[in-house]
Amino acid sequence: MDNRQQLIHSTSPLVELPKKHFNTVIIGGGIVGAGILRDLSLHGVDTLLIEKKDFSSQTSNRSSKMLHGGIRYLENFDFALVHEALAEKNLWIKLAPHLCKEKMFYLPVYRDSLRPLWMIRVGIFLYDFLSNFKNASRGFSDPDTTVKEIVHIKKDKLSGAGIYSDAIVDDGKLTLEVIMDALVNPNARALNYTNASNIRKDSKGIFHCRITDELTGDNKDITCDNLVVATGPFTDKFIKKNITQIDWEDKLLPSKGSHIWIRRSDFPLEHPVLLTPNDGRVIFVIPHHDRVLIGTTEEKAEGDFFDVTPSQKEVDYLLGNLKEFFPTSEINESHITDKFAGIRPLVKEDGANNRGKTAREHKVFSPLSSLYVIVGGKYTTFRTMAQDITREIIKRQQISYNPNKTKTALRVKCQYNFFYKPKLTKEIIAKIIKNELPRTYEDLEFRRAHSEEFSQVLEEYFTKHTI
């Protein structure tokens, strides 16, 4: 099992694709593409989703693991976005309680903080107001209570801490479950490790596309009436390379954000904490089941954006701020158990090059009729982002659009998530392979199970099963 790219299935799903023409093809298997697939399929629209890597293996699996309104966006007066995001956060807590958990977040305030106490009080009230007072908690703790509630927190000049509600989420599994829910509907299909190229629109308004299996090399030519590009930070590069009929200008200001994991036994934090360094950024320190997540950074993104990793500078930045705010924790690089980085698809604003201040709103472009390109946005609002495209496609089919169809619970659950980690068995592996669309052993180990018993149980399973 050392070869993590070894195939689980010997036959490419692309070869087994039963037809060549679809009403809609979606390129991009992150959370936005997943949301579009689900909405269209629930309305009966024949749809195919394709993803170059594994589903949710890039940006949508490399976030700060939160569903949140974005309390820091209040400073940019993005009230409409915060209101929308808080509504979506509270919706998904109800729809997927096994993946989304509401938590009390603490925001320590110091006498020399950039944001004084009165500003924090006003901000937290406004945050709760924009949720229609549906957030679970809001308040403030004095210095003594703050020290008791937050282990190792710096005491010097501490004024107390603001308390507000947001949610933590298993981002990768939510994306996967949204895709799996769509596939319950017979009009939906999804292919991972499938690359799209040579895209063109003919004189009859039909899109032609070559799709290639990245693992086997098999390829097929397909056509569709509607084409959606939901490739996140890869959008500018993808369109310039593969859709040469349009003169595309860059829409994104990609930003790299990195995180580190440490053992919770080394840092026994009970509540998520939002840190506000004097450089103007924010850092989240979020306890999960047995680990604590620390992030994020803000750097210019370079390279091809796939499978990016944190730089030493970013790791040092996170550890330095952790030491600053938790001076007695004694956490250092040796305590890091894992780390990851992702690329944010920030939308360019006129003359704006400050990634930290760039708005998180999304935009939809249609450079050709029936071609929809969605960029920007934030994970939390994926459902409403998708609706800006699905509404148009569905209405063109003379179908009445129902925005409430996606307000239903997900019908298929993953075997593992951040909050539920049963002992790995051969039976669980069989269910993962059947329902969760893995194609390589790496998919199983790192994005489906991620269990300490993985190697041994997987070896036992594949000695008895040929797939």
- Which pLDDT band holds residue 5 (cuts at 50, 70, 90)? low
Q: What distance lies between CA 249 and its chain's CA centroid?
A: 25
pLDDT of residue 26: 98
pLDDT of residue 464: 65
Nearest CA to 447 among 140, 32, 8? 8
* Lookup: tokens for 321: 């701020």
pLDDT digits (tens, 9 = 90+) for 127-149: 999 999 999 878 999 999 999 99
Location of structure tokens 């200001």: 253
pLDDT of residue 1: 41
* Alpha helices, DSSP H, located in 273-331: 312-325
pLDDT digits (tens, 9 = 90+) for 399-415: 999 999 999 999 999 99
CA dist 460 and 226 (Å) reads 45
Model pTM score? 0.94
Q: Which CATH architecture has domain 101-167+253-344?
A: 2-Layer Sandwich (3.30)
- Which pLDDT band holds residue 168 (cuts at 50, 70, 90)? very high
- Which pLDDT band holds residue 348 (cuts at 50, 70, 90)? confident
Q: Which percentage of the chain shows pLDDT scores above 90?
A: 81
pLDDT above 90 (res 3): no
Average pLDDT in the chain: 92
Q: Is 110 exposed, middle or buried (0-12, 13-18, 19+ CB in 10 A)?
A: buried
The answer to whether 43 and 391 are in contact (CB under 8 A) is no
pLDDT of residue 465: 62
* Alpha helices, DSSP H, located in 69-116: 79-95
Angle at 28 between CA 86 and CA 354, to 5 degrees: 55
pLDDT above 70 (res 164): yes
Range from 56-70, 91-105, 191-205, 421-435 carrying the lowest mean pLDDT: 421-435
Query: Do the bridges between strand 194-201 and strand 255-263 make them parallel or antiparallel, or are there none, so unpaired?
Result: unpaired
The dihedral region occupied by 426, where left means phi > 0, alpha psi between -120 and 50, and beta the remainder, is alpha
Q: Which CATH architecture has domain 1-65+170-252+348-421?
A: 3-Layer(bba) Sandwich (3.50)
If one counts every other C-beta atom within 10 angstroms of the C-beta of residue 420, the result is: 14
Task: Tell me the mean pLDDT in the region 107-130.
Answer: 93
pLDDT digits (tens, 9 = 90+) for 180-194: 999 999 999 999 999
The domain locations on the chain are 1-65+170-252+348-421, 101-167+253-344, 426-462
Please report, as a single letter, which amino acid is at residue 24.
T
pLDDT above 90 (res 261): yes
Distances (CA, A) of 385 to 86, 328, 379, 392: 14, 43, 9, 12
- Which pLDDT band holds residue 354 (cuts at 50, 70, 90)? low
Q: Which percentage of the chain shows pLDDT scores above 70?
A: 94
pLDDT of residue 123: 94
The one-character DSSP state at 346 is P
pLDDT of residue 450: 75
